[in-house]
Chains A and B, each alone.
Chain A
Amino acid sequence: MQPLQKSYLALSDISKSFVGIPVLRNVNFDVRSGEVHALLGENGAGKSTLIKIMSGLFTPDSGIISVETKETRFTSTADAMRRGITTVYQELLLFPELSVAENILLGHSPRHAWGGIDWRGVHARARDLLDQLDSTDLDVSIKVRELSVAQRQRVEIAKALSYNARVLIMDEPTASLAQGDVRRLMSIVKNLRSRGVGIIYVSHRMPEIFALADRVTVLRDGQIIGTEPAHAVNEARLVTMMVGRPIETVFPKSEPIFGETTLEVHNLSSGSLVKDVSFSLRRGEILGVAGLVGSGRTELAHALFGLAPATAGTIDLKGTRVTIRTPSQARDLGIAYVPEDRGLQGLIKSMSVRENLSMAAFERNSKGIFIRFSYEKKRARNLIRRFNIKAKAGPNQPVGRLSGGNQQKVVLAKWLETNPEVLILDEPTRGIDVGAKAEIHRMIDELAKKGMSIILISSELPEVLGMSDRVLIMNNGRCTAIIDRENATPERIGAAMTVSQKAEAA
């Protein structure tokens, strides 16, 4: 630690709970001017809550926030921004129908003497801010909806700079960027640091963290595990801090017994994010799918499940050529898909556990068009027991009142009710606690042992490495490699995930 350097923004003893569940406990965190402070933690560790407290969106239950050593409280995001604390969220908060310049300067545009917005001034100022970010190529007069994700992100950063940012919080800024854009972003970050901006850099990506960060803080289960100078730690140490134990022991993976081929995909294409993907899958096999966000992982699942039907290529199920145009067709063919966004895509939160459990398998719980209510309830009780779903009020409890892990078990149980041959899991453990995570990993292993074919999509490399028999790597819509378990190392997968595709860049 360098006690001489003063923190611009400091949090001490911050705690925050939601509906009685503590999310942050006695957190101490600070950022100095002109440093990059990386914040690491698994999903659900409390990072986003911490960010929202620093950006003025949430108020902490207890603890002190100080700006330039003066104790303070933020009344709103606008208040935090006025004091130089700005945030670039992962889901970029822009107005698609407004111009780039206006998005950057909305709310504090230059004015004419008569009080009207000085549009020439707005454009000039926006131009200037973007130029400072080496983005001379970005036209300030076009609408934001016409921009790529990387360009939108630069608009967000320019917006932050327009508030004279002293602290810039960046939430997973490279999660959906291609490799070239990542390099560009990193040089922007370095440039900002040299101008004295303090940057809080939230990411899981080790190479970026070691290339950029001056200090690293690890958050786990709502508590700070440690803050270290970046040069004093290595990757293994950080991972251990994040997970809480060495990763090798975490995954229950049995020796696989493969059966015949169930799914064979040839040159599958769909939209702009699935191009010429081919692979096959056997009974009892777990195929991991790795790739950056935006690499086409989820889109591949959507193509297989009929949500975004394939535009080219073939799919064979147990030797029969099939066309899948809707999710109901996919389900009837024996494909199940546990989607990545549990709350939005997986569940109907206002409905009961019982209703959610029979949502995908009505034919089992109905006679003709009529629902067999008592059977449905019995079946739901059964599943609650089998999957160890903690629903205090039983089958009629609204799903929205369950914890994340239990919600995920409901989604999984719902789809296993359809007796699928092929089970696609998209981020099955995102945002759930360690205990439920282990349970779900055990279930996945058991299902594979019973002969199910499983596709496991995950952005957590340890999970992919720990659970899969083979790993398929998606990069910019293409499958760049399929690697066997024994050859799968973080380095090889990482390389395949990030190798730039020159042909595609054009």
Chain B
Amino acid sequence: MASFAHIRSLTRHETILAMVVVFALVALSAQSDRFFTVANLLNQGRLMTEVGLVAVAMTFVIASGGIDLSVGSIMGLTAILIGVFWHNFGISLPVAAALAVGVGTLGGFVNGLIIARCGVPPLIATLGTLALYRGLAEGISQARSVGGYPDWFYLLGQGQINGLPTQLLVLFIFAITATIILSCTVWGRTVYAVGSNEIAARFSGLSVERSKLAIYTASGFAAAIAGVIFVSRVSTTRSDMGTGLELDAITAVVLGGTSIFGGKGTIVGTILGLILIQSLKNGLSLAGVRGDGTIVVIGAVLIVTILLSNIFSRDGFPEH
């Protein structure tokens, strides 16, 4: 009985969230006729892809009991490196992009090493690399932007396939893969086990260290891909790209029902959280709220969500 209540409470969170999303969509379309149009919704999908990719990977990170604050910086570093490799070193653009993604992924791997091998708390480790990677992006680029990419490169960020924004398809594939991994595979089970009780996971013969390495590397990879899409979408590279992105991603994940203490969470929830945030941002700006005003809402939503979930989940199991 208790177990069904447990599962039900999880699904309930997502059901409630789905209803909130629907309600928000209805309310926002009542506010402005420009909101609920195919063109606007697809465009919003385009805009939320970068955060979406990062948030999907962040779901793994947070479900395993960690956090990754460096994703925005990895994104910025990747973006800068595409420009530098292509423009300054004359490497062909596809190779340059692949190399930049490689470096971004390496950045995630380094996070994993510092956290899993050296035992540094993820918060501090990624706060340090947040500064380091952003600093590298600034130092390498000297705050100069690179533009003038060939037209075909914009397919990823500005083009469409069968009427759908290209990057939305990328996000879709990403999310489906992540859902399968997290809910149906041994790896996914390991993520939850590590997030619930790392010691017991180790004593059960699970490779805690290796899975943490993999999780943070994946997070770096997702941020790097997001960086490529970002460059392709805005046609230029700047070193401040992705600043503050970690906040949006963490908010989406936590809003989606992933426990900040680890051990539970789903990709479906994260995607719903993402849609809610993006529609709030868009709806508010259509209703005349200035761009930056919308992030007030995100911050407030983040705090209130966790507060409510803490109040309603009084009968959780303390692991220690």
Evaluate contact between B186 and A366: CB separation under 8 angstroms: yes
Could you mark each residue 359-402 of chain A with 1 if its beta carbon is under 8 Å from any beta carbon of chain B, else 0? 11010001001110000000000000000000011101110110
CA–CA, A414 and B3, complex, Å: 19
Q: A350-B196, A350-B319, A362-B189 are in contact. Are A307 and B203 (CB under 8 A)?
A: yes
CB distance from B137 to the nearest CB of A (A): 35
Q: Which of B78-86, B147-155, B204-212, B248-256 lies on the face that meets chain A?
A: B204-212
Q: Which of A383-428 contact B (CB under 8 A)?
A: 392-394, 396-398, 400-401, 414
Evaluate contact between A398 and B6: CB separation under 8 angstroms: yes
Evaluate contact between B201 and A348: CB separation under 8 angstroms: yes
Evaluate contact between B4 and A396: CB separation under 8 angstroms: yes
CB of B192 closer than 8 Å to a CB of A? yes
Which of B2, B196, B200, B264 has the most chain A CB atoms closer than 10 A to its own CB? B200
CA–CA, A142 and B210, complex, Å: 38
A331: contacting residue among B2, B201, B205, CB under 8 A: B205
**Chain A residues near B3 (CB, 8 Å)?**
352, 393-394, 396-398
CB of A344 closer than 8 Å to a CB of B? yes
Evaluate contact between A328 and B205: CB separation under 8 angstroms: yes
Q: Which of B287-320 contact A (CB under 8 A)?
A: 316-317, 319-320
Evaluate contact between A355 and B189: CB separation under 8 angstroms: yes
Q: Which of A305-349 contact B (CB under 8 A)?
A: 307, 326-328, 330-331, 337, 339, 343-349
Tell me what chain B mostly uses at the interface: helix, strand, loop, or mixed: helix
CB of B185 closer than 8 Å to a CB of A? yes
CA–CA, A90 and B286, complex, Å: 63
Closest to B200 in A: A348
**Chain B residues near A398 (CB, 8 Å)?**
2-3, 6, 317
CB distance from A427 to the nearest CB of B (A): 14
CB distance from B10 to the nearest CB of A (A): 12
Which of B3, B205, B206 has the most chain A CB atoms closer than 10 A to its own CB? B205
**Chain B residues near A326 (CB, 8 Å)?**
205, 207
**Chain A residues near B202 (CB, 8 Å)?**
307, 327
CB of A236 closer than 8 Å to a CB of B? no
Evaluate contact between A351 and B185: CB separation under 8 angstroms: no
CA–CA, A277 and B246, complex, Å: 51
Number of A interface residues, CB 8 Å? 35
A360: contacting residue among B1, B7, B205, CB under 8 A: B205
Evaluate contact between A351 and B199: CB separation under 8 angstroms: no
Closest to A351 in B: B196
CA–CA, A360 and B201, complex, Å: 9
Closest to A359 in B: B204
CA–CA, A145 and B206, complex, Å: 31
**Chain A residues near B7 (CB, 8 Å)?**
396
CB of B263 closer than 8 Å to a CB of A? yes
Closest to A362 in B: B186
CB of B16 closer than 8 Å to a CB of A? no
CA–CA, A207 and B104, complex, Å: 64
CB distance from A225 to the nearest CB of B (A): 33
B205: contacting residue among A327, A348, A350, CB under 8 A: A327
Evaluate contact between B192 and A351: CB separation under 8 angstroms: yes
Closest to B194 in A: A348
CB distance from B53 to the nearest CB of A (A): 22
Evaluate contact between B204 and A414: CB separation under 8 angstroms: yes
Evaluate contact between A370 and B199: CB separation under 8 angstroms: no
Which of B1, B2, B203 has the most chain A CB atoms closer than 10 A to its own CB? B203
Q: A350-B317, A371-B184 are in contact. Are A344 and B199 (CB under 8 A)?
A: yes
Closest to A414 in B: B204
Q: Which of B192-245 contact A (CB under 8 A)?
A: 192-193, 196-197, 199-207
Evaluate contact between A371 and B205: CB separation under 8 angstroms: no
**Chain A residues near B187 (CB, 8 Å)?**
369
**Chain B residues near A337 (CB, 8 Å)?**
203
CA–CA, A346 and B320, complex, Å: 12
Q: A350-B319, A362-B186, A393-B2 are in contact. Are A327 and B196 (CB under 8 A)?
A: no
CA–CA, A337 and B263, complex, Å: 24
Q: Which of A42-68 contact B (CB under 8 A)?
A: none
**Chain B residues near A347 (CB, 8 Å)?**
197, 200
CB distance from B187 to the nearest CB of A (A): 7
CA–CA, A394 and B7, complex, Å: 14
CA–CA, A328 and B202, complex, Å: 9
Q: A344-B197, A371-B185, A371-B189 are in contact. Are A328 and B207 (CB under 8 A)?
A: yes
CA–CA, A339 and B201, complex, Å: 12
Evaluate contact between B203 and A346: CB separation under 8 angstroms: yes
Closest to A397 in B: B3
Query: What 15 additional pairs, Cβ within 8 angstroms, besides A328-B205, A328-B207?
Result: A326-B205, A327-B204, A343-B319, A344-B200, A345-B203, A347-B197, A348-B193, A359-B204, A366-B185, A370-B184, A371-B184, A371-B186, A371-B189, A396-B4, A398-B6
Interface residues of chain A, those whose CB is within 8 Å of chain B, are 307, 326-328, 330-331, 337, 339, 343-352, 355, 359-360, 362, 366, 369-371, 392-394, 396-398, 400-401, 414
Interface residues of chain B, those whose CB is within 8 Å of chain A, are 1-4, 6-7, 184-187, 189, 192-193, 196-197, 199-207, 263-264, 316-317, 319-320
14 contacts between A and B (CB under 8 A): A307-B202, A343-B320, A344-B197, A344-B199, A344-B320, A348-B196, A348-B201, A355-B193, A359-B193, A359-B206, A360-B204, A396-B4, A397-B3, A398-B3
